[in-house]
A and B are shown apart, each in its own frame.
Chain A
Amino acid sequence: MNGMPDLSALSWVHRAEILLVVGALVLLAFAPRLDRSRLAPMLIGLVTAGGAIACGLQTTGAERMGLVVGSVAVVFGLLLLSSAELFDRHQTPEAAALLLIGGIGGVVLVTGQSLLELALGTEMISLVGAALVALGQGQRPLEAGFKYFVLTAVTFATLLFGMGLIFVATGSLAVPALGAVAEGVRPLATVGVALFAIGLAFKLAVFPVHFGALDAYTAGPSSFVGSIMVLSKLGAAAALVKLASGAGEALQFPLMIVGLVTIVFAVLASFAQDDLRRLMAYSAVAHAGFLALGVGSGVAGGTAVAFYVVGYGAAALLAFACLAGTGTGPLPLSSLRPGGSLQLGPARAAGLIVALLSLAGVPPLPGFWTKLAVLKACFGAWGTLATTTAALGGVLGIIYYLRPLPDLLAQAKETKGQGTVDAVVAVGAAVAVVVVLSFLPNLAWDLAR
């Protein structure tokens, strides 16, 4: 037929996106029936996300990295579905569908070439994050979800305004190369790029626009927070790398400064925290600082950022898999003590130790290699002062990661209380990924290039 599209010409990225959309639609269309089964929503989601990973393995470069890392983050959320701290236990199909849609948002952000695609990808991840947080038990997730929703609205308004200014200046929605923009309209394009970058900074959760994400990470269901964190960071960092490559120093210098300030702020703020989940949220802000620093470090920083996302993603997913099923209320560090209310059991306590050490950047865990890559890129671009400040922030950060370790070590020696089977499977898979990346970091580096 005339005008009939050639479906065989669809790229692997589009096939993966279509697969994820179909999976989400099936889950939503049959939600009233699927919610009776504990396994069905998880299995449908896993098959779909597995298909997306298979599509990703057929691609190369950023597409491969985005599809694989994004889909893996979705897989971990799905594995923890039955341990999820949902307000209504019957909403597992909705949660699974939201995770798949979040995966599409991550893929769109990594593979998108126009500003419109980047804005839509950001919006998809943000709305999914707000909804997943709000689905949690109790009042805290509702409040945090609403704050995240307001943050999303502000983010989208900023992105749209920036996009509008860039369009006025260049007549195109392509990511602008500021150097090539006519001199008369360059200030307009620069303001547009700055606004667009601020919108993405909200998603990355860097200082001073970290507050909404901080509450969402603290009060959201632990089963989903890891996936939301990784998808947000993956997407926002990939989009910022694209924007910075066109804008050059006009964006790279401010990002470097924002990165350093974020690292210092998050490390100092973390010392005052007594809640494990709040500590993890501030850790996410500190890591966002390292990502911003990497983006601001030029071309070498781009690969380092992708490498960082892989290493950070593995550790963050492991940490929140260990905390799955612990509710949405506060988790004081004192509750980890023997006889306290938070007894994780040996497997999950050991997993959390590995995750915290990796997030702290202790060698030979992936967090060490990824921090090293960003610091090396920073040294090449900005010299000694910036690199020393970031390195000091990273070293000081180790102190607060070590605070829960004695109690976790004591729990790791216990012999009872393993947690649910799916949580243990998720923890085991995440530990395997972290251990493999510790000794074969080149696997992640190859994926990031």
Chain B
Amino acid sequence: MNPTGMLAFYAAVAAGLVLLLVVIAGQLSPRRPSPVKQKSYECGVSEPQPTEARWPIRFALVAMLFLVFDVEGLFFYPWAVQIRELKFQGLLCMGSFFAVLGVGYIYARGRGALKWQ
């Protein structure tokens, strides 16, 4: 099969599978609504305390910064595997990448993004 046909086949299978799962879930799942199940977080157990409690917006910022630096840090792994083959040029490229990442950290710290209060 040529790539165009493969793509069409893939798209048809993906769409068909989604449709099938929605129909099966709708037809087979029993419907026994209860006040607990109607709540926003539902896993069959009533929550021990209200989930609508406030949580500090700071958490979102720290989580976002963690995500950014964590994902960027992943680039070190492939470099570490190829460190001998890439020689000095690899070191230079990774050094420049680390400098950009480092400035990002200095900036975030300088602007107080890591202070909880």
- List residues of A whose CB falls within 8 A of some B CB: 1-5, 21, 25, 28-29, 31-32, 165, 168-169, 184-185, 187-188
Q: Which chain B residue has the least Cβ–Cβ distance from A25?
A: B103
Distance A184 CA – B1 CA, assembled complex (angstroms): 10
B2 at the interface (CB under 8 A from A): yes
Known: A3-B88, A31-B107, A31-B110. 6 other contacts (CB 8 A): A5-B92, A28-B104, A31-B111, A165-B7, A185-B3, A187-B4
Could you tell me if B7 and A25 are in contact, using CB atoms closer than 8 angstroms? no
Could you tell me if A25 and B88 are in contact, using CB atoms closer than 8 angstroms? no
B54 at the interface (CB under 8 A from A): no
Residue from the list A25, A187, A188 in contact with B100, Cβ < 8 A: A25
Could you tell me if B4 and A2 are in contact, using CB atoms closer than 8 angstroms? no
Contact A25-B99, Cβ < 8 Å, known A32-B110, A165-B7: yes
B27 at the interface (CB under 8 A from A): no
Q: Which chain B residue has the least Cβ–Cβ distance from A21?
A: B100
Residue from the list B87, B99, B100, B106 in contact with A3, Cβ < 8 A: B87
B38 at the interface (CB under 8 A from A): no
CB-CB < 8 A to A185: which residues of B? 2-4
7 closest A-B pairs by beta carbon, nearest first, are A3-B87, A32-B110, A3-B88, A28-B107, A25-B103, A184-B2, A188-B4
Distance from A88 Cβ to chain B, minimum over Cβ atoms (Å): 11
B89 at the interface (CB under 8 A from A): yes
Distance A21 CA – B104 CA, assembled complex (angstroms): 13
Which residues, 83 to 105 on B, are CB-close (under 8 Å) to A?
86-89, 92, 99-100, 103-104
CB-CB < 8 A to A4: which residues of B? 88-89
Could you tell me if B87 and A2 are in contact, using CB atoms closer than 8 angstroms? yes
Can you pick out 14 interface pairs between chain A and chain B where the beta carbons lie within 8 Å of each other?
A3-B89, A5-B88, A5-B89, A5-B92, A21-B100, A25-B100, A28-B103, A28-B104, A32-B111, A168-B3, A184-B3, A185-B4, A188-B4, A188-B7
Distance A418 CA – B111 CA, assembled complex (angstroms): 35
Could you tell me the dominant secondary structure of chain B's interface residues?
helix
CB-CB < 8 A to A1: which residues of B? 88
Which residues, 1 to 45 on B, are CB-close (under 8 Å) to A?
2-4, 7
CB-CB < 8 A to B86: which residues of A? 3
Residue among B2, B4, B88, B99 with the most chain A CB within 10 A? B4
Q: Which chain B residue has the least Cβ–Cβ distance from A183?
A: B2
Distance A4 CA – B103 CA, assembled complex (angstroms): 25
Distance from B16 Cβ to chain A, minimum over Cβ atoms (Å): 20
Contact A188-B89, Cβ < 8 Å, known A25-B103, A28-B107, A31-B111: no
CB-CB < 8 A to B7: which residues of A? 165, 168, 188
Which residues, 51 to 97 on B, are CB-close (under 8 Å) to A?
86-89, 92
CB-CB < 8 A to A169: which residues of B? 3
CB-CB < 8 A to B107: which residues of A? 28-29, 31
Q: Which chain B residue has the least Cβ–Cβ distance from A1?
A: B88
CB-CB < 8 A to A25: which residues of B? 99-100, 103
Q: Which chain B residue has the least Cβ–Cβ distance from A165?
A: B7
CB-CB < 8 A to A165: which residues of B? 7
Distance from A289 Cβ to chain B, minimum over Cβ atoms (Å): 32
CB-CB < 8 A to B104: which residues of A? 28
Q: Which chain A residue has the least Cβ–Cβ distance from B7?
A: A188
Could you tell me if A2 and B100 are in contact, using CB atoms closer than 8 angstroms? no
Contact A29-B103, Cβ < 8 Å, known A1-B88, A2-B88, A5-B89: yes
Q: Which chain A residue has the least Cβ–Cβ distance from B90?
A: A3
Distance A187 CA – B89 CA, assembled complex (angstroms): 40
Q: Which chain A residue has the least Cβ–Cβ distance from B109?
A: A32
CB-CB < 8 A to B106: which residues of A? 28-29
Q: Which chain A residue has the least Cβ–Cβ distance from B85?
A: A3
Distance from B11 Cβ to chain A, minimum over Cβ atoms (Å): 11
Distance A5 CA – B88 CA, assembled complex (angstroms): 8
Q: Which chain A residue has the least Cβ–Cβ distance from B93?
A: A5
Distance from A183 Cβ to chain B, minimum over Cβ atoms (Å): 10
Distance A31 CA – B111 CA, assembled complex (angstroms): 8
Distance from B111 Cβ to chain A, minimum over Cβ atoms (Å): 6
CB-CB < 8 A to B2: which residues of A? 184-185
Residue among A21, A29, A185 with the most chain B CB within 10 A? A29
CB-CB < 8 A to B100: which residues of A? 21, 25
Distance A168 CA – B103 CA, assembled complex (angstroms): 37
CB-CB < 8 A to B103: which residues of A? 25, 28-29
CB-CB < 8 A to B92: which residues of A? 5
CB-CB < 8 A to A28: which residues of B? 103-104, 106-107
Q: Which chain B residue has the least Cβ–Cβ distance from A30?
A: B110
Distance A1 CA – B88 CA, assembled complex (angstroms): 8
Q: Which chain B residue has the least Cβ–Cβ distance from A32?
A: B110
Distance A28 CA – B102 CA, assembled complex (angstroms): 11
Distance A31 CA – B105 CA, assembled complex (angstroms): 12
Q: Which chain A residue has the least Cβ–Cβ distance from B106?
A: A29
CB-CB < 8 A to B111: which residues of A? 31-32
Distance A34 CA – B3 CA, assembled complex (angstroms): 55
Distance A28 CA – B105 CA, assembled complex (angstroms): 10
Distance A4 CA – B111 CA, assembled complex (angstroms): 37
Q: Which chain B residue has the least Cβ–Cβ distance from A4?
A: B88
